[in-house]
Amino acid sequence: MAMLKNELIMRNPMQVLGGPSADILSDGQFGGVLARAGVGKTALMVQIALNSMLHERNVMHVSLNQPVNKTNLWYHEVFGNVARQAGIAQPESLWESLLPHRFIMTFRTEGFSVPKMEERLTDLVEQRIFVPKLLIVDGLSFDEPIRDSLSELKHYARLHAIRVWFTIRTHRHEDPGPGGLARQLADVEDLFEVAIQLVPVGEEIHVKPLKGLTLPAEHAHLVLDPTTMLVKKRSA
């Protein structure tokens, strides 16, 4: 099993974003994946999460707009695509070994708040039921003022050495805010160390670093594969 994990880590498509360890954030840092609805934010998040799980680091995936079974399906499909791309036969045993490193938490959007999420997370941690190193918040609206809530979560993340990723929904034909970043980040940009945008260009989805990430020349042009939704270098 360890050999299978190492093989998948070595062939992990996320290495083109995060280097050999495929780590993009450090403990206590915030990252955001920005895109319009349906472009691939969750698919990229799941790849980030799977990398953490392969390194035996626990992932808490908080979904505000999808039930557990739909979120789990995302993981299963993306993992299957990664395993096929890596040429791993019969990957199901490896998949089962990764599941203890993931916990899916769901909320109804109208019933969600950052303090509620922290309370449920703290309950799990204090009882040693699940102690995450990576937190994904999928579906939080950045169209409303949320600076106070994010500042509180930032303090929590630093205190517990947790890396936090957010999906951030942008809108078609919306002008960028100051500094070229999306308007959704205008009031909270200083809380984010990394921001990545997914931009549809023709039939391709380009992966565009906006903040905190400099890609080497050989990986300067990245896309999400339209078939597998995995990160890859764009063909010349």
- Is 130 within the bounds of a domain? yes
14: helix, strand or coil:
coil
* Two tokens, residue 70: 């739909």
Residue 203 belongs to some domain of the structure: yes
What is the per-residue pLDDT for 18? 62
Report the C-alpha gap between 106 and 64 in whole angstroms.
6
Let me know if residue 224 belongs to a domain.
Answer: no
Tell me if 82 sits within 8 A of 231, measured CB to CB: no
Domain CATH number, residue 62: 3.40.50.300
Residue 231 lies in a domain: no
180, burial (CB in 10 Å: exposed 0-12, middle 13-18, buried 19+): exposed
Task: Confirm whether 225 is domain-assigned.
Answer: no
- pLDDT per position in the chain (236 positions), as tens? 666 777 676 666 566 676 555 568 999 999 999 999 999 999 999 999 998 998 899 999 999 989 999 999 999 999 999 888 888 877 898 999 999 999 999 987 777 888 999 999 999 999 999 999 999 999 999 988 999 999 999 999 999 999 999 999 998 777 666 666 788 998 999 999 999 999 998 888 999 888 988 776 666 678 898 888 888 877 65
Q: For residue 67, tell me if it sits in a domain.
A: yes
Residue 195 covered by a domain = yes
Domain total in the chain: 1
**Token code pair at residue 144:** 């409303």
74: containing domain? 2-13+27-217
In-domain check, residue 223: no
Give the separation between CA 60 and CA 103, rounded to whole angstroms: 5
Q: Collect all residues with Cβ–Cβ distance below 8 Å to 149 and sequence separation of at least 6.
A: 113, 114, 115
Integer Rg of the chain from CA: 17
